[in-house]
Amino acid sequence: MKSQHYSITEFLLLAFADTRELQLLHFWLFLGIYLAALLGNGLIITAITCDHHLHTPMYFFLLNLSLLDLGSISTTLPKAMHNSLWDTRHISYYGCVAQVFFFLFFTSEEFCLLTIMSYDRYVAICKPLHYGTLLGSRACVHMATAAWGTGLLNSFLHTANTFSLPLCQGNTLDQFFCEIPQILNVCVAFGYFVFIVVSYVQIFRAVLRIPSEQGRHKAFSTCLPHLAVVSLFIGTGTFAYLKPPSISSPFMDMVVSFLYSVMPPAVNPLIYSMRNQEFKQTLKKLIQSLFLSTINLPMSLQK
């Protein structure tokens, strides 16, 4: 018997609004968020690449986080903007496959990378004398490569498994982008989460043993951006799939999915830049240099 998915050439996504005015409003909202994510993550990547003072393990992993945030938001939001602008709900079969693959890839990679970043903070605070040995440049590259490879393998297996099965609910999706139930990833995500929790238990114990209040504050402040990003990413994702059925509805599910798939890539740069003075100074210098070069360019053309 021929599987149903072979006869499906496109899927229908859930629309954010029925009226044309609200659809256009959503388009401009999505465009603003997308441009903010591109600008914020682009500035982080440029700053870390150009400033040799930021060539440390923590900023190396932050650069990787910005790269995958750009990939993640570019997987879901452009199609949502296109549908809102042109009043359509269609996505091709292979376009849906691509969205599932890349969203799973970037989500799995983010879980893995956030776990590695918690290990970085653990070594920095609990084993500072061994930091250069445990997190040398080669070790960092190996860990980042393993994270990207793990995300790629996980995404390939789940995507292949999903689209090799018959589709029993037609081609209508109750979501604004193509995704599969994240229960498939619950074991891997739970393992990452346990590692992060264990790391921070050790970190808190080490911080509490620091005799001076200023030292405790300085040590803990280096962990706050990572904790905020982990809470935002895991908290919204957990709520999306463990919320009570009594408050579940197609629109509610879509809003929650928007929060965990779109907001973290847009908010992460703000979180990391607000609490880090060294990074704020680098970003300030970068923005000033870009601004001055923009002003000087027309002047040089006039000469």
pLDDT tens per residue across span 204-219: 898 888 888 887 888 8
Do 83 and 164 form a contact (C-beta atoms < 8 A)?
A: no
Domain count, the chain: 1
Question: Regarding beta strands 10-12 and 90-92, do their DSSP bridges make them parallel or antiparallel, or are they unpaired?
Answer: antiparallel
User: Does 210 reside within a domain?
Assistant: yes
Q: How many residues does the chain have?
A: 303
Residue 192 has a CB neighbour count (10 Å cut-off) of: 21
H-type helices in the chain, by residue range? 20-50, 57-86, 93-126, 131-134, 137-163, 186-208, 213-221, 224-242, 250-261, 263-274, 277-302
In a domain, 255, yes or no: yes
Query: Is residue 297 assigned to a domain?
Result: no
Q: Which of 110, 105, 83 is nearest to 16 (CA)?
A: 83
pLDDT of 271 reads 83
Give the DSSP H/E element, type plus range, for residue 92.
Answer: strand 90-92
Give the burial class of 122: count Cβ atoms within 10 A of its Cβ; 0-12 exposed, 13-18 middle, 19 or more buried: buried
CATH number for the domain spanning 138: value is 1.20.1070.10
Residues 32, 287, 26: CA angle, nearest 5 degrees: 0
Contacts of 5 (CB under 8 A, 6+ apart): 93, 163, 165, 166, 167
Among residues 32, 16, 31, 34, the alpha carbon closest in space to that of 72 is found at 34
Would residue 289 count as lying in a domain?
no
* Residue 296 resides in a domain: no
* Per-residue pLDDT tens over the stretch 49-101: 888 888 889 889 999 999 999 999 999 899 888 888 888 888 888 888 899 89
| Side chain identity, residue 297 | L
Q: 71: closest CA among 105, 100, 46?
A: 105
Taking the alpha carbons of 281, 224, 210, 199 in that order, is the dihedral positive or negative?
Answer: negative
In a domain, 269, yes or no: yes
Whose structure tokens read 């994510």?
Answer: 37
Query: pLDDT tens-digit profile of 218-271?
Result: 888 888 888 888 888 777 777 766 666 666 667 777 777 787 788 888 888 888
In a domain, 181, yes or no: yes
Burial 1-12 (b: 16+ CB within 10 A, else e): eeeebeeeeebe
With a cut of 90, say whether residue 116 has pLDDT above it: yes
Residue whose entry in the numeric block shows the structure tokens 């659809």: 23
Interatomic CA distance for residues 109 and 245, integer angstroms:
29
- 23's CB contacts (< 8 A; 6+ apart) are 15, 16, 17, 84, 85, 87
Lowest mean pLDDT among 83-87, 117-121, 128-132, 273-277: 273-277
Which pTM does this prediction carry? 0.84
Q: Which domain does 154 fall in, by range? A: 4-281
